[in-house]
């Protein structure tokens, strides 16, 4: 976990306590006196490309005898890369320099190509002869893949007798999709900023080579380097030489560069010309000529340019439908122009507009277009009909487009599966999707894998795309175990028949070495992590229980009523049947219509996706649906606790740095799993009021809109609900954050199934901050939501020099705070207000307290003038957005930056602080509020203490 933290509030405490906590708990190795040597520290940068000295000394000497030099047969740049990688890898593994030579001598490792029709264009063989090893590709790329695979065999300490191997990829298009923006932010990225420093190009960084190596090492041959929500700027002529330089690095490692194209680029990029193009209609001849010229220009600079990826007419993106044309017409216009250069056009079917049931959009739009896309056009379809939920049925478009080239889009970055905090190894999920029998062809086939490998309909332009999790964090993926998904995606794209067990074993051995216990413990954790995540976040296929507009991290089931569930006091789920519901089940082949459409046949794991059922409905396990929801959330949480414990047992077997990093991630994971469990269980108990079997629990709820004032006594209202079948008497108090907090207790007796509200006295110090508060309950018992509730503490206005509640003209005010809205212009007597153009105001509504619900903000910089009192004074400013994600806010005075926030997910707030000086008599300060270029800054409150 390097680089900026995406959840400053939820993770701060952990980062302080994670590794230290592990040490205190006796989990970290203390000294070198343990039975085995603790491996040297690593930071994760090398991923699975670690070429450490072979530990087994017998094997090492056999390897040393067998591999003394490398010979590259041919001068192709990709072959030279293969030679360089072999030299690097063998030198590291054998602990001595293994040179590249011109002549083949005894014990050579020879890499080259030989035409072999059985291997396809990218396959390879590794063959051990009496006096040498031959790594032979059917083409250069195959030779490179063979070199990497050979090294991986040695990393895994395979005996010399077992090195022979023949392999070839199943799909031709094995592609990464980066959702990287021009400002280097990454949409749904949790590993820092983009690897690519656009404005520095054509200047190149060493890391680009390592990026290309990591792709090639697992057989990725295409990469789309920018976000599907594409800025047209990527196509601007001035940018292309820089991108060509990057393409050159990729080319040496057999990877073709692609761009996401904004469909309205002809409009945007001619806006400043004497006669600008004002439409993006694919049938308009000026538009066509513009694209023709652009494509010619690109191929002059990047002769092996892969093509364009397009998101059109979805979530506000422009597209052919704006001009009354179809997706196929829109795609073909570009495909035809790329065809001349052997380029391809990938068109996404993720259109997210228009129907009542989101699950149906894509099929209804794309199925009628089957057969209309040209030969080098490919439709890229997300695995499920919604949006990368932890469990979704397979998208009915698979099998629904037999006359269209299709790629599957999987999400490697964990947008809906826990970001870089929850471990969620996705290969088991992807396996189940790829193995899905569509029943649209003969027999039960084809499977999704058959379709995307070209077997089903004998197609060539097919494959797999992964929305990738890479960023510029030192460990690439934001947490040490995240790279397992990157690796797993690539391995499956290469061969969808590999088992999850094989793939994860491969990854663990390459990443952590072959220690048996490490492999078996970590493997068991990882293979259970997807179903575990599912069990505490998404009951029975429901999905989408996070706030739809935000970061998709924390639970918010109230916000997705109608979108993913129709929860009432009687039951929950979504009736998507053809008989009585939205009709979605009717989009499948008859076999699946019968299964999904019938309550009796529908598999439990998709029950609430397909049906609305009463809480008392019996599942196959014999449990009622509601009892299952309760139990799976408690069990899932317990499994995460067990993951953390199991990892603890590996202390000393993994280097201390990565050990502690992973331990800290598990600490955070446990907290977030608890948050999910408590929120979802409370939510469904709140509706159903069905007391669980067993001992039950208490659940705590906090009326929304509560603020805590620093430096003043508060009464925090907490509603205590007794979800058990016996009366309970309790005493509750806020757990003090530190000695500066004063707290008092309150008691209540709550009947079985009843609720009572207690008012907890609490006085925080005079501060502006955020806290995750815990409530202590006596006698001790299971109390949901008793921990980790985030509260904002804002200073008592009477004790501030200035206390401003910034937002709109009519939203409620924080007690004692003065209003600043866009119309509050500077006024000397008042001592605050905007100078120059005023910003905009926004109000996110009453689910938030008076402080957080509204803010002022804008794209351009604006100036807020305030009067400072004499002497030193502390400025605190609240930044965040209760709706969408919030870009960085920069607060400056003159040229001096006082404070900057990071990108904040929607619903996450932070206080920025700066020390100012009013001098001997006080003065005015012009605070400049700004963000990164073209991004929206936010300011919700400002206080001087």
Q: Which residues bind ligand GCU (CB under 6 A)?
A: 187-188, 228-229, 311, 315, 350, 387, 415
Residue located via tokens 């008592």: 796
Spell out the long-range contacts of 543-546 with Cβ–Cβ below 8 A and sequence spacing 24 or more.
543/386, 543/389, 543/390, 543/391, 543/392, 543/416, 543/609, 544/386, 544/387, 544/389, 544/416, 545/680, 546/416
Q: How far apart are CA 38 and CA 819, in angstroms?
A: 59
Task: Point out the catalytic residue in the list 362, 387, 534, 930.
Answer: 387
Which residues are CB-neighbours of 622 under 8 A, at least 6 positions away?
none
Nearer to ligand GCU, 361 or 659 (CB): 361
Q: Which of 315, 460, 594, 917 is catalytic?
A: 315
The nearest distance, CB 382 to ligand GCU, in angstroms, is 7
Q: Which of 360, 392, 415, 472 is catalytic?
A: 415
CB nearer to ligand GCU: pick between 609 and 741? 609
CB of 347 to ligand GCU, least distance (A): 12
Query: Residues with Cβ < 8 Å from 85, sequence gap 6 or more?
Result: 144, 147, 148, 151, 213
Residue 669 Cβ, how far from ligand GCU at the closest point, in Å?
22
**Which DSSP category does 873 fall into?**
E
**Does the active-site annotation cover 238?**
no
d(CA 108, CA 90): 12
Beta carbon of residue 88, minimum distance to ligand GCU (angstroms, whole number): 37
Shortest reach from residue 540's CB to ligand GCU, in Å: 23
Where do we find the tokens 């698979």?
398
170 or 408: CB nearest ligand GCU: 408
Q: Say if CB 302 and CB 252 are below 8 A apart.
A: no
Question: Nearest approach, Cβ of 348 to ligand GCU (angstroms)?
Answer: 7
Total length of the chain: 945
> Phi/psi at 208 (nearest 5 deg)?
-65, -35
Query: Closer CB to ligand GCU, residue 597 or residue 906?
Result: 906
Task: Give yes or no for a contact between 190 and 413, defined as CB atoms under 8 angstroms apart.
Answer: yes
Closer residue to ligand GCU, CB minimum distance, 188 or 675: 188
Q: Tell me the closest approach of the beta carbon of residue 552 to ligand GCU, in angstroms.
A: 6
- Please tell me the distance from the alpha carbon of residue 927 to that of residue 841, in angstroms, as a whole number: 17
Instruction: HSE, CB side, 13 Å, CA atoms: give it for residue 39.
Output: 22
Work out the burial of residue 396: count CB atoms within 10 Å of its CB; fewer than 13 is exposed, 13-18 middle, 19 or more buried.
buried
User: What is the distance between the alpha carbons of residues 434 and 384, in angstroms, rounded to a whole number?
Assistant: 11
CA atoms within 13 Å, Cβ hemisphere of 178: 25
CB nearer ligand GCU, residue 552 or residue 644: 552
CA angle 559, 563, 565 (to 5 degrees): 85
One-character DSSP codes across 71-124: EE-S--HHHHHHHHHHHHHHHHHHTS---EESS--TTEEEEEE---GGGTTT-E
**Residue entry with tokens 């599966």:** 417
Choose between 179 and 253: whose C-beta lies nearer to ligand GCU: 179
Which one, 389 or 721, has the nearer CB to ligand GCU?
389
Q: Among residues 390 and 851, whose Cβ is nearest to ligand GCU?
A: 390
The CB-of-315 to ligand GCU minimum distance in angstroms stands at: 6
Question: Please, what is the minimum distance in Å from the beta carbon of residue 188 to ligand GCU?
Answer: 5
How many angstroms separate the CA atoms of 411 and 538, rounded? 17
Distance CA 451, CA 407 (A): 8
Closest distance to ligand GCU from the beta carbon of 184 (Å): 16
Query: Taking the chain, what is the end-to-end CA distance rounded to the nearest angstrom?
Result: 34
Residue 565 in tokens:
């569930």
Instruction: Give me the residue label for tokens 């199934």.
Output: 753
Contact 350, 312 (CB under 8 A): no
Q: How far is the CB of 176 from ligand GCU (least distance, A)?
A: 14
3-state secondary structure 538-580: CHHHCCCCECCCCCCCCECHHHHECCCECCCCCEEECCCCCCC
DSSP secondary-structure letter at 437?
A: B
Provide, rounded to whole angstroms, the least separation between the CB of residue 868 and ligand GCU.
41
From CA 102, how far away is CA 105, in angstroms rounded? 9
Is 188 or 391 the residue whose CB approaches ligand GCU more closely?
188
Is the CB of 413 or the CB of 724 nearer to ligand GCU? 413
Q: Report residue 253 as tokens.
A: 């490692």
Q: State which residue, 148 or 547, has the beta carbon closest to ligand GCU.
A: 547
Say whether 315 is catalytic: yes
Q: Is 415 noted as a catalytic residue in this protein? A: yes
Active site residues: 315, 387, 415
């Amino acid at each position: 976990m390097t680089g900026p933290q995406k959840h400053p509030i939820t993770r701060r405490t952990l980062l302080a306590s994670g590794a230290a906590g592990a040490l205190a708990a006796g989990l970290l190795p203390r000294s070198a006196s343990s039975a085995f040597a603790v491996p040297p520290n690593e930071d994760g940068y090398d991923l699975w490309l670690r070429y450490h000295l072979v530990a087994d000394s017998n094997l090492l000497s056999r390897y040393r005898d067998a591999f003394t030099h490398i010979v590259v047969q041919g001068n192709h740049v990709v072959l030279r890369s293969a030679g360089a990688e072999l030299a690097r890898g063998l030198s590291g593994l054998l602990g001595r320099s293994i040179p590249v030579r011109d002549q083949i001598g005894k014990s050579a490792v020879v890499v080259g190509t030989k035409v072999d029709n059985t291997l396809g264009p990218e396959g390879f063989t590794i063959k051990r002869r009496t006096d040498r090893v031959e790594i032979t590709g059917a083409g250069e790329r195959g030779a490179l893949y063979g070199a990497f695979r050979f090294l991986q065999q040695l990393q895994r300490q395979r005996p010399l007798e077992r090195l022979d191997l023949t392999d070839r990829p199943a799909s031709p298009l094995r592609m990464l999709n980066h959702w990287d923006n021009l400002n280097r932010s990454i949409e749904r990225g949790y590993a820092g900023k983009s690897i690519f420093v656009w404005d520095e190009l054509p200047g190149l960084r060493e890391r680009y080579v390592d990026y290309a190596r990591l792709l090639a090492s697992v057989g990725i041959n295409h990469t789309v380097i920018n976000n599907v929500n594409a800025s047209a700027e990527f196509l601007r002529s001035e940018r292309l030489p820089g991108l060509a330089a990057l393409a050159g690095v990729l080319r040496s490692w057999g990877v073709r560069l692609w761009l996401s194209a904004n469909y309205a680029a002809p409009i945007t990029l001619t806006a400043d010309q004497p006669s600008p193009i004002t439409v993006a209609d694919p049938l308009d001849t000026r538009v066509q000529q513009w694209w023709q010229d652009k494509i010619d220009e690109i191929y002059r600079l990047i002769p092996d340019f892969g093509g364009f990826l397009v998101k059109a007419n979805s979530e506000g993106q422009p597209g052919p439908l704006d001009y009354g044309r179809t997706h196929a017409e829109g795609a073909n216009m570009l495909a035809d122009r790329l065809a001349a250069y052997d380029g391809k056009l990938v068109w996404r079917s993720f259109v997210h507009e228009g129907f009542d049931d989101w699950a149906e959009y894509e099929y209804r739009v794309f199925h009628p277009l089957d057969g209309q896309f040209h030969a080098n056009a490919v439709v890229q379809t997300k695995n499920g009909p919604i949006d990368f939920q932890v469990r979704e049925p397979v998208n009915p478009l698979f099998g629904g487009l037999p006359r269209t080239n299709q790629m599957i889009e999987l999400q490697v970055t964990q947008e809906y599966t826990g970001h870089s905090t929850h471990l969620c190894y996705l290969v088991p999920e992807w396996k189940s999707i790829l193995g899905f029998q569509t029943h649209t062809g003969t027999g039960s086939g084809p499977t999704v894998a058959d379709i995307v490998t070209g077997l089903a309909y004998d197609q060539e332009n097919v494959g797999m795309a992964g929305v990738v999790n890479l960023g510029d964090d030192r460990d690439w993926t934001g947490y040490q175990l995240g790279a397992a998904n990157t690796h797993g995606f690539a391995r499956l794209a290469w061969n969808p028949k590999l088992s999850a067990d094989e793939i994860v074993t491969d990854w663990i051995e390459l990443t952590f070495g072959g220690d048996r216990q490490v492999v078996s413990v970590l493997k068991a954790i990882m293979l259970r992590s997807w179903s575990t995540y599912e069990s505490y976040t998404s009951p029975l296929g429901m999905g989408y229980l996070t706030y739809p507009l935000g970061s998709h991290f924390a639970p918010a089931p109230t916000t997705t009523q109608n979108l993913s569930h129709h929860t009432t006091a009687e039951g929950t789920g979504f009736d998507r049947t053809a008989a009585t519901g939205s009709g979605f089940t009717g989009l499948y082949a008859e076999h699946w219509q019968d299964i999904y459409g019938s309550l009796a046949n529908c598999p439990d794991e998709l029950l609430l996706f397909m049906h609305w059922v009463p809480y008392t409905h019996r599942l196959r396990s014999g449990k009622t649906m509601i009892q299952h929801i309760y139990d799976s959330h408690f069990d899932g949480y317990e499994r995460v606790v067990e993951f953390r414990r199991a990892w603890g047992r590996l202390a000393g077997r993994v280097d201390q740095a990565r050990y502690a990093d992973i331990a800290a991630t598990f600490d955070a994971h446990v907290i977030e799993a608890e948050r999910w469990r408590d929120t979802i269980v409370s939510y469904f108990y709140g509706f159903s009021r069905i007391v669980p079997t067993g001992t039950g629990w208490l659940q705590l709820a906090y009326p929304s809109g509560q603020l805590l004032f620093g430096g003043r006594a508060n009464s925090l209202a907490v509603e205590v609900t007794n979800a058990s079948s016996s009366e309970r008497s309790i005493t509750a108090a806020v757990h003090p954050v530190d000695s500066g907090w004063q707290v008092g207790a309150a008691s209540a007796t709550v009947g079985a199934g009843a609720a009572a509200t207690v008012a907890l006295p609490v006085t925080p110090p005079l501060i502006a901050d955020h806290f995750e508060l815990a409530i202590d309950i006596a006698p001790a018992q299971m109390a949901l939501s008793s921990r980790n509730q985030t509260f904002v503490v804002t200073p008592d206005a009477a004790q501030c020099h200035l206390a401003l509640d910034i937002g709109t003209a009519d939203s409620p005010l924080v007690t004692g705070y003065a209003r600043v809205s866009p119309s509050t212009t500077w006024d000397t007597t008042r001592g605050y207000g905007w100078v120059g153009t005023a910003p905009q105001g926004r109000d996110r509504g009453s689910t938030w307290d008076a402080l957080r619900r509204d803010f002022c903000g804008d794209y351009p910089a604006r100036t807020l003038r305030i009067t400072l009192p004499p002497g030193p004074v502390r400025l605190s400013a609240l930044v965040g957005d209760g709706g969408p994600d919030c870009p960085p806010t920069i607060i400056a005075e003159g040229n001096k930056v006082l404070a900057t926030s990071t990108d904040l997910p929607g619903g996450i707030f932070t206080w920025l602080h700066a020390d100012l000086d009013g001098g001997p008599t006080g003065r005015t300060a012009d605070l400049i509020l700004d963000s990164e270029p073209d991004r929206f800054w936010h300011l919700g409150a400002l206080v001087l203490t």
